[in-house]
Amino acid sequence: MRLSDKALSISPSLTLDITAKANRMKKSGINVIGFGAGEPDFDTPDYIKEAAISAIREGYTKYTPTSGILELKEAIVQKLKRDNNLSYDVSQIVVSNGAKQAIFNTLCAILNQGDEVIIPSPYWLSYPEMVKLAGGIPVFIDTAESNNFKITAAQLEEAISDKTKAIIINSPNNPTGAVYNEDELKNIASLAVKYNIYVISDEIYEKLIYSGKHVSIASFNEGIKNLTIIINGMSKAYSMTGWRIGYSVSNPEIAKLINNIQSHTTSNPNTIAQYASVAALNQGDETIKAMVVEFKRRRDYMLQRINKIDGLKAITPDGAFYIIINISNFIGTEIYGTKINGSIDFANFLLEKAKVAVIPCLPFGNDNYIRVSYATSMSNIEEGFNRIENLLTNF
C-alpha cells in the first residue's frame, strides 16, 4: 500500500549511521572521543532540579493548559522584556515540547502547500525536513565562509519570490556559530517588511555568545515584530535538553493557531518540567555565565589546534558550541588508501583511524565541512586533537 508521500520525502538522518557506528565501537571497549554532542555537557543546575522535585511533591502532576502554565508564560514575558526589550502579552506565548516542536507548530500554522521558506545554508538539519512535512518548499541561500557564514541582504532579495512565505534565521547558528549583528538583522527585517514575509527567528543559542551581543530581530519596530515568530527554549542555556521545554512568541493570530495545533497533537508539554523552567528563568543568569566562560576557553583552544593542522581550517565562531572545519583540501584525495569523496567519508575516516567522532556537514547543507562540538571536557578536546593531528600530519 502507498505510504505517505510527505513522510517519504523526508531524508533519513545521515548523521545517524556514523553516530551508531561510534556507539558500537564504544560498546566494544574502544576509547572513542566524541565531538558530536548537540547539548551542553554540564548538569542541569540544582535549583532547577529542586523546583521539579517540589512540583512533584506539591502534586503538580496533571494536565496544564495546552499553551503552558501562566507562571511560566509570565516568566517568559519578563525574560523577553529583560533580555530583548520586547513587550508581549502572555496570550502570545505557547510553551511546547522543546524548541523543535515550537518550530514545527509554527510552520504548520503559517504554510500552505507549495509556500517557500528561505533557509540560509549551512542550516540545522531539521529545518528543511520540517518545512517539507508542513507542505512547504525549502529554498536555500548558500552563505560564504568569507562572510562568516551569514547571508547578505542582496542574496536574500534575490531569493525572495512571490511564493516566499518565511525565512528562518538562526542566530547564533548551528552548525556555524555565526551571530548576526544589529545592522545585518535590520537589513533582513527591512526586506521581510517590504515583501511581507514571516521571520522564524530561532534564538535557542541566544545565551551562548562569546563576542558581540544577541539582538532579537523582532525588537526593531512593530512591523517586523508582527511578522516575527521567536523560537527559544530551555535546552541549551540551562542544560535542560532532556526536559523538553521550548516556546514560540508570535502575533496573537499565529499564537492561537499554534495553540490549536498543539492541543490536538500533544497537549501541554511536561507539567513538572514547566515548573522547573519557571525557576530557571526567574533565578538570573549566574550559572549560564560560568558555562559561557568555560565554553569560550574550549572554543579558543580547539580553534588553535584545528588551525595548526595542515589542510584544516576554521574561522572563529561567535556563538553556540560548535566549530565547522573546512576539509575541502582533503576532498578528492586519498589518505592511507581511503578515498575522501566528501564529509561523510572524512568523518568515517576519522572515526576508523583516529577513533574520533565528528559530524559530517552534508546533511547541514555543505559537504566541504565537518562539525565539532566543544560541549565536552578540555581533556577530551586535547586527546581528540592529538589523535587528529597525528593522523593527518603523518601520512
List residues near ligand PLP by CB under 6 A. Answer: 38, 98-100, 124, 170, 174, 202, 204, 233, 235, 241, 246
The string of DSSP codes covering 355-390 is -EE-EESGGGT-TTEEEEE--S-HHHHHHHHHHHHH
Of 162, 140, 161, the closest CA to residue 151 belongs to: 140
Cα distance between the two ends of the chain: 52
Query: Residue 319 has what DSSP assignment?
Result: B
Least distance (Å) from ligand PLP to the CB of residue 56? 22
Query: Residue of minimal CB distance from ligand PLP?
Result: 98
Our CB check for ligand PLP shows the closer of 125 and 224 to be 125
Which amino acid is residue 104, in one-letter code? F
Are 156 and 194 within 8 A, CB to CB? no
Comparison of 176 and 330: residue with beta carbon closer to ligand PLP: 176
In the bound state with ligand PLP, the residue whose beta carbon lies nearer, of 38 and 128, is 38
Which one, 231 or 315, has the nearer CB to ligand PLP?
A: 231
Q: Which amino acid is at 211?
A: S
Least spacing, CB of residue 233 vs ligand PLP, in Å: 4
Q: Which of 180/349 has CB closer to ligand PLP?
A: 180
Rounded to a whole number of angstroms, the minimum distance from the CB of residue 339 to ligand PLP is 31
Closer of 130 and 391 to ligand PLP (Cβ):
130
Q: What is the smallest separation between the CB atom of 235 and ligand PLP, expressed in angstroms?
A: 4
Find out whether the peptide bond into 122 is cis, omega within 30 degrees of 0.
yes
Residue whose CB is less far from ligand PLP, 234 or 325: 234
Residue 352, Cα to own-chain centre: how many angstroms? 28
CB of 230 to ligand PLP, least distance (A): 12
CB of 171 to ligand PLP, least distance (A): 10
Q: Contact at 8 Å (CB) between 103 and 200?
A: yes
Find the DSSP H helices in the chain: 5-8, 14-27, 46-57, 70-84, 98-110, 126-133, 153-159, 182-195, 222-227, 252-265, 271-282, 286-308, 343-354, 378-393
Q: How far is the CB of 337 from ligand PLP (least distance, A)?
A: 35
